[in-house]
């Protein structure tokens, strides 16, 4: 990934730099090979992954690749 700007957290209203990637899939609307991602800062990794795992959407949490 080669984004020119810092990747920010996907949580609403949060502008912290993301440090994790939440990989998820909604079986009702996505084919199994489809992977959606959210980014999360340290603070929101927990609530966002909880939100997804409650719905059985969460597949895994990866560290966000850091440029530079
Ligand atoms: Zn955040």
Q: What is the pLDDT of residues 48-57, one digit of tens each?
A: 999 999 999 9
55 φψ region: left (φ > 0), alpha (ψ -120 to 50), beta (else): alpha
Could you list which residues have their CB under 5 Å from ion ligand 1? 9, 11, 14, 16, 41, 44
DSSP 8-state symbol, 14: -
CA of 14 to the centre of ligand 1 (A): 5
Q: How many domains does the chain have?
A: 1
Taking the C-alpha atoms of residue 24 and residue 30, their distance in angstroms, rounded to an integer, is 10
CA of 33 to the centre of ligand 1 (A): 27
Residue 66, pLDDT > 80, answer no
Per-residue pLDDT at 65:
78
Residue 44 structural domain: 1-68
Q: What is the pTM of this model?
A: 0.84
């Amino acid at each position: 990934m080669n984004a020119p700007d810092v990747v920010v957290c996907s949580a609403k209203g949060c502008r912290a730099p993301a440090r994790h990637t939440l990989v998820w899939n909604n079986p009702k609307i996505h084919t199994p090979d489809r992977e959606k991602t959210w980014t999360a800062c340290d603070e929101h990794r927990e609530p966002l992954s909880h939100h997804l795992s409650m719905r059985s959407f969460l597949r895994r949490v990866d560290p966000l690749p850091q440029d530079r």
